[in-house]
Structure 1
Amino acid sequence: MKKNRRDFLKATGLAGMALATGPVWSMEGQPIHAENPQATMENLIGAYGPWANSLHLEGLPRLSFRNTQFTDLQAWKKQALEKVKDRLGIPDVGPTPQVTVHRTYSYDGLQVEEVSWKLPYGNPTKAVILKPLGATGKLPAILGLHCHGGNKYFGLRKITRTSDSPHELMVAHQDHYYEGTAWANEIAKRGYVVMVADAFTFASRRVMLADVPERQRNGLTDENPEDPQNIQAYNTWAGNHEHVMAKSLFCAGTTWPGVFFAEDRAALDVLCARQDVDTAKIGCAGLSGGGLRTVMTGGLDPRITCAVCVGFMSTWTDFLLHKSFTHTWMAYVPILPQELDFPEILGLRAPNPTLVLNDIDDALYTMPEMERADKILADVFAKAGASDKYRCSYYPGPHKFDRAMQQEAFDWFDKWLK
Structure 2
Amino acid sequence: MKSNQTRRQFIRSSALTGTLPFLSSHFDFGGEWPGQYNPVQPEMAAEMKSIIGSYGPWAASLQRQGALSFRNDRWKPEQLARWKKEALTKTRELVAAPPQPATPSVRVDRTFEYDGLQIEELTWQLPYGRPTKAVVLKPKGVTGRLPAILALHDHGGKKYFGYRKIVKTGDDQHPLLTEHQLEDYEGRAWANEIARKGYVVLVHDTFTFGSRRVLYQDVEGLNYGVLNTKDKTDADPEKTEHIEAYNQWAAEHEHVLSKSLFCAGTTWPGVFLSEDQVALSILCARSDVDPQRVGCGGLSGGGLRTVYLAGLDSRIKCCVCVGFMTTWDDLTLHKSFTHTWMTYTPLLSRYLDFPELLGLRVPLPTMVQNNNQDELYTLPEMQTADKILAGVFKKAGAADRYSGRFYDGAHKFDKTMQTDAFDWFDRWLKGK
What's the TM-score bracket when you normalise by the shorter of the two chains?
A: over 0.9
Return closer, same or farther for 1:19/1:280 CA change in 2, 3 Å cut-off: farther
Alpha-carbon distance between aligned partners in 2 of 1:244 and 1:301, rounded to the nearest angstrom = 29
1:258 corresponds in structure 2 to 270
Q: CA deviation at 1:55?
A: 1.1
Q: CA deviation at 1:35?
A: 4.4
1:114 equivalent in alignment to 2:103: no
1:289 corresponds in structure 2 to 301
1:4 corresponds in structure 2 to none
SS in 2 for 1:216: coil
Alpha-carbon distance between aligned partners in 2 of 1:203 and 1:253, rounded to the nearest angstrom = 25
The 5 A counterparts of 1:104-253 are 104-213=111-220, 215-219=222-226, 220=228, 221-222=230-231, 223=234, 224-253=236-265
Deviations 1:160-193 (A, max 9, x none): 0000110000000000000000000000000000
SS in 2 for 1:267: helix
Is the deviation greater in 240-249 or in 68-77? Answer: 68-77
Unaligned runs of 5+ residues in structure 2 are: 29-46
1:300 equivalent in alignment to 2:325: no
Is the deviation greater in 66-75 or in 132-141? Answer: 66-75
Share of identical aligned residues, percent? 57
Q: TM-score, normalised by structure 1?
A: 0.93
Alpha-carbon distance between aligned partners in 1 of 2:256 and 2:424, rounded to the nearest angstrom = 39
Return closer, same or farther for 1:70/1:307 CA change in 2, 3 Å cut-off: same
1:90 corresponds in structure 2 to 97
Return closer, same or farther for 1:215/1:316 CA change in 2, 3 Å cut-off: closer
Give yes or no for contact 2:312–2:361 (8 Å, CA) kept in 1.
yes
2:18 corresponds in structure 1 to 24
Return closer, same or farther for 1:179/1:306 CA change in 2, 3 Å cut-off: same
Alpha-carbon distance between aligned partners in 2 of 1:100 and 1:206, rounded to the nearest angstrom = 20
What amino acid is aligned across from residue 149 of structure 1 in structure 2?
A: G
Alpha-carbon distance between aligned partners in 1 of 2:199 and 2:67, rounded to the nearest angstrom = 39
Q: TM-score, normalised by structure 2?
A: 0.90
2:409 corresponds in structure 1 to 397
Return closer, same or farther for 1:45/1:172 CA change in 2, 3 Å cut-off: same
Q: CA deviation at 1:12?
A: 2.9
Alpha-carbon distance between aligned partners in 2 of 1:390 and 1:313, rounded to the nearest angstrom = 14
1:78 corresponds in structure 2 to 85
Give yes or no for contact 2:8–2:375 (8 Å, CA) kept in 1.
no
1:36 corresponds in structure 2 to 25
Give yes or no for contact 1:81–1:348 (8 Å, CA) kept in 2.
yes
Return closer, same or farther for 1:43/1:281 CA change in 2, 3 Å cut-off: same
Give yes or no for contact 1:19–1:326 (8 Å, CA) kept in 2.
no
SS in 2 for 1:177: helix
1:66 corresponds in structure 2 to 71
Unaligned runs of 5+ residues in structure 1 are: 1-6, 27-31
1:316 corresponds in structure 2 to 328
Deviations 1:8-43 (A, max 9, x none): 7x43334599986786258xxxxx678436788631
Give yes or no for contact 2:166–2:181 (8 Å, CA) kept in 1.
yes
Give yes or no for contact 1:18–1:327 (8 Å, CA) kept in 2.
no
Q: CA deviation at 1:366?
A: 0.3
5, 8, 11: which one pairs with 2:5?
Answer: 11
Alpha-carbon distance between aligned partners in 2 of 1:190 and 1:78, rounded to the nearest angstrom = 36
Alpha-carbon distance between aligned partners in 2 of 1:33 and 1:271, rounded to the nearest angstrom = 42
Tell which has more relative contact order, 1 or 2 (C-alpha 8 A, sep 6+). Answer: 1
Alpha-carbon distance between aligned partners in 1 of 2:14 and 2:70, rounded to the nearest angstrom = 32
What amino acid is aligned across from residue 69 of structure 1 in structure 2?
A: R
Q: CA deviation at 1:94?
A: 1.1
1:361 corresponds in structure 2 to 373
What amino acid is aligned across from residue 233 of structure 1 in structure 2?
A: A
Return closer, same or farther for 1:15/1:159 CA change in 2, 3 Å cut-off: farther
Q: CA deviation at 1:290?
A: 0.3
What amino acid is aligned across from residue 138 of structure 1 in structure 2?
A: R
What amino acid is aligned across from residue 13 of structure 1 in structure 2?
A: R
**Divergent runs of 4+, >6 A:** 16-22, 37-41
Q: CA deviation at 1:212?
A: 0.5
Alpha-carbon distance between aligned partners in 1 of 2:331 and 2:9, rounded to the nearest angstrom = 17
Q: CA deviation at 1:218?
A: 2.2
Alpha-carbon distance between aligned partners in 1 of 2:156 and 2:12, rounded to the nearest angstrom = 7
